[in-house]
Amino acid sequence: MLDQRSFPLASLKLLASARSAGKTMEFKGESFKVEELTEKSFDDVDIALFSAGGGISKKFGPIASEAGAVVVDNSSAFRMTDGIPLVIPEINAEDMGGITWQSRKGGIIANPNCSTIIALMAVTPLHREAGVKRMVVSTYQAASGAGQAAMDELVLQTKEALEGKEVTKNIFPIQYAFNLFSHNSPMQENGYNEEELKMVKETKKIWSFDDVSITATCIRVPIIRAHAESINLEFERPLSETRARELLSTAPGVSLIDNRAENTFPTPLEASFKDDVFVGRIRKDISSDGEKGLDLFVCGDQIRKGAALNAVQIAELLLKQ
């Protein structure tokens, strides 16, 4: 993402655990040696992109910030922490507040959960117009949300299943090839898993709006790298299909694919490797009264807009401030 978007960096430092230190990686034709992450790593860093899990973020995020770097954190460590902005640049850039990299005063900005980002890219323009009262989401989530190893396991298992062999299960306890299962994040006492509750809580924070009721069912489907979501919306105020389509056709980072005549709608395959979130199946909900309900279907690349792209967009916002 830094490469493809030609992020104007003066220097690049790659940090990882001791295990990876010493490896080399290419960036724009130049070789960079991976260094071991230590408490001294951030002394000369302006912007630090973290994506090494919640534990590392919790420990090293504050250290980097105190050293003067602005941290853009992809883990869930700080998302719900008061005072830490949770940002989708197209939606709530204003929440970045006074954080600047030039001041060398540090700061932490959290990158939201992938399913939340992908849903809100499509739902927020509608929320601003008509006020979302209630949202019922069912997700169709790709392997990539669980990392490269999960993507590899899906491919390996699919080969094995096609050959009639027993499938290798290292990442998930359930066969993934030609199957789907309830999201593997920890189950809470109320019967929702963490992924589902992230969608509920993060939406309220990103919208700065508590007065919305949300339920989600998060399911992993045997797809490589883009998520899909079926979203049912109830609004405070009437919103026609036509107006919803108008709003979404001009929303930044959103592409409409909603051709009923040709039966073409967003698919995860089409959304893969794309920056935009795709939306379609926009229709008046026949189970709602009047024009206060809509159904829609969204797809977005989990690795791009669901993670890396959104993080780099936050870093780009920092440059503008």
Positions marked catalytic:
114, 227
**Under 8 Å between Cβ of 300 and 287:** no
For the CB of residue 180, give the shortest distance to a copy of itself in the complex, in Å: 6
For the CB of residue 268, give the shortest distance to a copy of itself in the complex, in Å: 6
Tokens describing residue 309: 């792209």
What is the distance between the alpha carbons of residues 52 and 269, in angstroms, rounded to a whole number?
A: 27
User: If we measure between CA atoms, which residue out of 40, 200, 193 comes closest to residue 116?
Assistant: 200
Neighbour tally for 85: CB within 10 Å: 21
**Under 8 Å between Cβ of 279 and 288:** no
What is the distance between the alpha carbons of residues 310 and 257, in angstroms, rounded to a whole number?
A: 22
Name 109's bridge partners: 72
Q: Which is nearer to a copy of itself, 11 or 190 (CB)?
A: 190
Tokens describing residue 97: 């507040």
Q: Of 214, 248, 309, 315, which lies in the binding site for a copy of itself, with binding defined by CB under 8 A?
A: 214
Q: Which is nearer to a copy of itself, 228 or 312 (CB)?
A: 228
Q: Does 13 bind a copy of itself (CB under 8 A)?
A: no
Q: Of 49, 70, 119, 228, which lies in the binding site for a copy of itself, with binding defined by CB under 8 A?
A: 228
- Maximum CA extent, the chain: 63
Q: Does 162 bind a copy of itself (CB under 8 A)?
A: yes
Q: Does 60 bind a copy of itself (CB under 8 A)?
A: no
The tokens 């001294």 sit on which residue?
40
Q: Of 248, 265, 276, 300, which lies in the binding site for a copy of itself, with binding defined by CB under 8 A?
A: 265
Q: Does 136 bind a copy of itself (CB under 8 A)?
A: yes
Q: Does 134 bind a copy of itself (CB under 8 A)?
A: yes
Q: Of 9, 52, 80, 200, which lies in the binding site for a copy of itself, with binding defined by CB under 8 A?
A: 200
Neighbour tally for 277: CB within 10 Å: 29
Helix (H, G, I), strand (E, B) or coil at 13: coil
Q: Of 20, 51, 168, 175, which lies in the binding site for a copy of itself, with binding defined by CB under 8 A?
A: 175
Q: Does 241 bind a copy of itself (CB under 8 A)?
A: yes
Q: Does 273 bind a copy of itself (CB under 8 A)?
A: no
Burial 142-172 (b: 16+ CB within 10 A, else e): bbbbbeeebbebbeebeeebeeeeebeeebb
For the CB of residue 247, give the shortest distance to a copy of itself in the complex, in Å: 16
Residue 67 is given by DSSP the state T
For the CB of residue 159, give the shortest distance to a copy of itself in the complex, in Å: 6
Tokens describing residue 302: 């989990």
Q: Does 14 bind a copy of itself (CB under 8 A)?
A: no
219-220 and 181-182: which strand pairing? Answer: antiparallel
Q: Does 284 bind a copy of itself (CB under 8 A)?
A: yes
Q: Which is nearer to a copy of itself, 84 or 118 (CB)?
A: 118
Q: Would you tell me which residues interact with a copy of itself (CB under 8 A)? A: 134-136, 138, 140, 155, 158-159, 162, 173-175, 178-182, 184, 187, 190-193, 200, 213-215, 217, 219, 221-224, 228, 230, 232, 241, 260-261, 263, 265, 267-269, 280-288, 293, 295, 297
